[in-house]
Amino acid sequence: MQIQLERPQSENFVRHLESVDDGFRVTIGGKTYNESLIITPLILELWGVDAVAAITERHLRGLLELNLEVVLIGTGRFLEFPPPRVYRFVMDRGIGVEIMDTPAACRTYNILAGDGRKVAAALIL
């Protein structure tokens, strides 16, 4: 799937998402990644999570210090919900959390970031 944005505000937009083997490869800012990562308009870092069931509060703690409006969690090829305590951890801080498959999370992130929203996407690739 080729993803294009008309007026990027930063380099941290998903430019291309490609299905490979049992996951995805994503291109952001001219660099290609095949490991799970966290992306905001200002930050891009590897995420160290390879399965939804493995997500804990610790994996999201740093994001919650960024004054975000919403956190998108891309769960890979299929929609899969993390443990309820993960939702509670984010929502108790007044931040919205949306769970979706990784392609949908990439598209939604690009739209929200392009609109200047305070958004982060935690993507399982």
pLDDT tens figures, 29-77 = 889 999 999 999 999 999 999 999 999 999 999 888 898 999 999 999 9
CA distance 97 to 119: 10
Query: Would you give the distance in Å from CA 40 to the centre of its chain?
Result: 8
CA distance 113 to 109: 6
Helices (H) and strands (E) in the chain, counts: 3, 8
- 64 Cβ contact list (under 8 Å, min separation 6): 89, 90, 93, 95
Q: Is the pTM of this model over 0.75?
A: yes
Whole-number CA gyration radius for the chain = 13
